[in-house]
Structure 1
Amino acid sequence: MITTALATRRGSRAFNCDAASVHTCDNATAAALIDGIGNDENTATTARLLAETVARVTAHRGGLAGLLSGTQLLQVDHAGDAVGVAALAHPGSPTWVWWSGDCRAYGLNGHRLRRYTSDHTVGEQLRRNGTPLDIAADHDNWIQTPLSEAAVATVYDVEVPADELVVLTSDGVHDYVAHEELEEMTAALQGSPQDLAQALIDAALPDEDGYRDDATAVVLAPAAGSGVER
């Protein structure tokens, strides 16, 4: 009853160290999006393993258990590090989102796109404490709670209303595409989740230096007829 879609593409570096996975169990649909820290073959392989593990555990036990299963995997295998976001949806019920790091979750209520997560970065903390925006931006790449160090107290969660379409993104999308453009695309393509996921990663163009990050998007669309425009 929940329609899902995902899209990912490699950035300028040799490996795509983003990964995403969707898992359905009974009436639950779980999604996980992982952004590996670094760029090498091991990081890319680990990101895919993390995404699959987190999605499967989330479907059965929720996103806190899902993300912390990823923490255990990283600690046991000494397999690098990552950030991630997990979502769990049931038809007709709110979608729950859990995250550690700077992957994001958005919800669309038909026309308005709302960001539901806050980045676990030094830059975000500085902004919240009143630091000038240009100074805070210099610290956005400093992750406060990578997945390898996640704990019950550091994995945040939020509830997205049942009628909202949910979009998960890696920073290779939301750092390169303005919120207004994200909102416009999501509203225009909400009826076609796979086209939306692809459009989101395609919109993340190279920066002024010609560099672009790996980009990944996951879409979870509510069952037809459940939307209520507000």
Structure 2
Amino acid sequence: MEPRQAWRTASRQGGRAVNADAVASCGGTVALADGIGDDITAANAALLAANAAVGVPAAGGPASALAAAHEAVTAGDCVLVVAQPFEGGYRIGWVGDVRAYAWDGTTLRRLTTDHTLAQYFRDHGEDVTPRMEHLVTTSVRTAPASRYGLTETSATSLLLTSDGVHRYLTDEEMAALLREAPNPADALVRAAGEAGARDNATAAVLAGAPSPATPLPTRPFPVAA
């Protein structure tokens, strides 16, 4: 029997008024969205984008998933990463500063490049200020298809994170939690909070062979009233 995909997700609201992160999944595809802003409109944008992205059949490719998210979000905005299974691994699409990592049981390898002002200036050999890390250059509502980030990996285990996780934990710290924690998704968001994260922190851990037949639930996160 083929090994089946297992997944865990966890989220921590931090010091925000609402949790504007969302994770959705369908047919082996998983998407993580991070709303831009700290209100219910941002949270709704993230949930709509994640749901729309995973509703696209994996055969359509991640660019089609990002385009579906763009069509679905008409108010507010968010950043998004989507991982679609195929026979050789996963195809990844993203906009903004959410991330996907390949996990081989020992080390993490980042698959995405942040679409931020800070990364733009780094790529051009310029100095970066802390504020630039939080200014995204692409988003679900603003990015044309020519600006989508697209890649693929033969890895069968992935980590998806919002910036409330990866801005506060090093790759080595995240890898240690993936190796050692009984529930690594929960351990990652808890560790980010202990490291000082005030932002929403969300992680999704996918392990095992991706299967288009695997039924996975949608995971909206509760928001404050």
Q: 1:13 aligns with which of 6, 16, 35?
A: 16
**Structure 1 residue aligned with 2:112:** 117
**Structure 1 residue aligned with 2:198:** 212
TM-score by length of structure 2 reads 0.85
**Matched residue of 2:55: which SS?**
helix
Q: Are 1:127 and 1:136, in contact at CA under 8 Å, matched by a contact in 2? A: no
**Matched residue of 1:139: which SS?**
helix
Partner Cα distance (1:221, 1:206) in 2: 25
**Residues 182-225 of structure 1, C-alpha deviation per residue, up to 9 Å, x if partnerless?**
12112334xx5xx11111111112666xx61001111111239x
Identity of aligned residues (%): 35
Q: Are 1:102 and 1:170, in contact at CA under 8 Å, matched by a contact in 2? A: yes
**Structure 1 residue aligned with 2:188:** 200
Q: Are 1:67 and 1:147, in contact at CA under 8 Å, matched by a contact in 2? A: yes
1:1-230 alignment runs, 5 A limit: 1-24=4-27, 29-59=28-58, 61-74=60-73, 77=74, 79-90=75-86, 93-132=88-127, 135-162=128-155, 164-189=156-181, 195-205=183-193, 212-223=198-209
Q: Which amino acid aligns with 2:184?
A: L
Q: Which amino acid aligns with 2:192?
A: A
Q: Are 2:48 and 2:72, in contact at CA under 8 Å, matched by a contact in 1? A: no
Q: Which amino acid aligns with 1:142?
A: L
- How far apart are residue 57 of structure 1 and its match? 1.5
- How far apart are residue 81 of structure 1 and its match? 0.9
**Matched residue of 1:149: which SS?**
coil
**Matched residue of 1:99: which SS?**
strand
**Residues 146-177 of structure 1, C-alpha deviation per residue, up to 9 Å, x if partnerless?**
11012221111111224x41000000100111
**Residues 56-76 of structure 1, C-alpha deviation per residue, up to 9 Å, x if partnerless?**
1254622211111111122xx
Partner Cα distance (1:171, 1:41) in 2: 19
CA gap of 1:149–1:58, structure 2 versus 1, over 3 A, is farther
Q: Which amino acid aligns with 1:175?
A: R
Q: CA RMSD in A?
A: 1.9
TM-score by length of structure 1 reads 0.83
Q: Which amino acid aligns with 1:213?
A: D
Q: Which moved more, 1:3-12 or 1:33-42?
A: 3-12
Partner Cα distance (1:188, 1:143) in 2: 33
**Matched residue of 2:9: which SS?**
strand
Partner Cα distance (1:120, 1:144) in 2: 5
**Residues 34-68 of structure 1, C-alpha deviation per residue, up to 9 Å, x if partnerless?**
00001112221222122111111254622211111
Partner Cα distance (2:195, 2:175) in 1: 20
Unaligned runs of 5+ residues in structure 1 are 225-230
**Residues 67-122 of structure 1, C-alpha deviation per residue, up to 9 Å, x if partnerless?**
11111122xx3x111100000124x5221111011000011122111111100011
